[in-house]
Structure 1
Amino acid sequence: MPMPERQELLMVRHGQSTANAKGVWQGQMEFPLSEDGRLQAALAGKALAREPFEALYSSPLARAFETATIIARESGFREEIVPLDGLSERHGGVLEGHTWAEQERLDPAFAKKFLSLPEEDRWAFAGAETDEEVMERFEAAISEIRERHPEGTRIVVVSHGGAMRAFLRDRFGPDVLPGTHRAANASITRIGWGRNGTGPELLDLASTLHLPGEEGPDKTRTE
């Protein structure tokens, strides 16, 4: 497949981590990929091998960078993988390192109050990064990436469910990944910008056609 006329960003959520498998909210804590996660990353890499891309960027968190490394291997990408801090997951405050069941057991009053708040107020209540704080750094990272490459190039970015969701909802509206939905592990979201930077256009949301038994965005809270 040739390079596109527009600039395309292929945004990949990392493969399943060991924390994802247990339902643990990771935030910026470090967890490796599970065996299933490594397989998911390999399948994403094989799918991306059919779409030549110019550059590969990643969150520096281990689960994302390992996913990017596997994608590079399976797609035949030989250039450097570029880590950018701005692509990291939302810092989760007191949510990090626990399942939701543990939160409810450890502090039921907190859990009840958290669920009663509008989403935009929950993060501050939990001591987590707000959407505004996530977007400030994530948007800066995406802008930096886009400025490094000309029109008509395809770029792969490996990031995280929560940060990606904040970006996609900011750009394309609240109907994108509503409620507790996140892009599935190792899913591929395609965004396009036309000539002279027009757009962006959401071309494909959280595709999992390359993954066996997957149907698209999931409802996990474990970021």
Structure 2
Amino acid sequence: MKIVLVRHGESVYNKFNRENPEKRLFTGAFDTPLTEKGRQQARLLRNVQDIKQIEAIYSSPLSRAVETAKLATNHAELTLDARLIERSLGELEGHSLADIGDICAALPKDFAHSFTAKAPGGENYQEVLERTSAFFNEQPKQDLLVFAHQGSIRTMMMYLMNLDSEETLTLNIPNCQPICLEGTHFGTFQRL
């Protein structure tokens, strides 16, 4: 079985954060649209053979993932699943550190990369792992194409490849760079 994971194209917040690191905005599950560059990245995926061949296409319902999936594929059938959504950062979403420094000061230093700590009203990585693994456990044994987000893809790879938490949190998931995995049982997948 082959599973192809794709992080959405560049979003408005991705661009803003890259250009303004001192004013960085917390994104999480905040619904920020694609930039024109993100749309272009998604269109280029149409030429990727692994993407062309897979019929079962799933996406996070956040607009940046949905638009990427639609631009990257010519398939009319796209299944949205909320379990694929990005890790929620709760009350931090849509705000900069300067706006909510008092909330952040009360959080553990590693909350952004933690399997236990989380922002007020948000999730930790363990909770994301539970919902993404539940998604895979309900799928028939078939090739899958999944459009999602950096945090959720990290936990998918953890589950599929049996990675530990340290390996998982160091994974870099670039925009619109397909990650092709192959295996027969969850926990045994290998990166192609």
Q: Same fold (TM over 0.5)?
A: yes
Q: CA RMSD in A?
A: 2.4
What percentage of aligned pairs have identical amino acids? 28
Residue of structure 2 in register with 1:54 after alignment: 55
Residue of structure 1 in register with 2:114 after alignment: 120
Q: 1:190 aligns with which of 171, 180, 183?
A: 180
- Corresponding position: 1:163 with 2:157: no
Is there any run of 5+ residues in structure 2 with no aligned partner, and where?
18-24
Shift of 1:165: 1.5
Given the two structures, how large is their TM-score scaled by the length of structure 1? 0.71
Shift of 1:84: 0.9
Aligned residues: 181
Mark the CA change 1:22 to 1:50 in structure 2 (over 3 Å): closer, same or farther: closer
Match runs of 1:22-61 below 5 Å: 22-23=16-17, 24-48=25-49, 52-61=53-62
Mark the CA change 1:39 to 1:114 in structure 2 (over 3 Å): closer, same or farther: same
* Segments of 4+ moved more than 4 angstroms: none
Mark the CA change 1:51 to 1:109 in structure 2 (over 3 Å): closer, same or farther: same
> Partners in 1 of 2:91 and 2:39 — Cα distance?
28
> Partners in 1 of 2:109 and 2:187 — Cα distance?
36
Residue of structure 2 in register with 1:175 after alignment: 167
> Partners in 2 of 1:94 and 1:50 — Cα distance?
36
> Partners in 2 of 1:124 and 1:161 — Cα distance?
17
Match runs of 1:197-216 below 5 Å: 197=185, 199-204=187-192
Q: Which moved more, 1:52-61 or 1:106-115?
A: 106-115
Residue of structure 1 in register with 2:85 after alignment: 88
Query: Which amino acid in the other structure matches residue 143 of structure 1?
Result: N
Shift of 1:47: 1.4
Instruction: Give per-residue Cα distances to partners, 1:4-42, cap 9 Å, x unaligned.
Output: xxx010000000111111123222222211000001111
Instruction: Give per-residue Cα distances to partners, 1:72-113, cap 9 Å, x unaligned.
Output: 13xxxx340111111111111122102xxx31x234454345
Q: Which moved more, 1:58-67 or 1:47-56?
A: 47-56
Q: 1:111 aligns with which of 97, 100, 104?
A: 104
Residue of structure 2 in register with 1:71 after alignment: 72
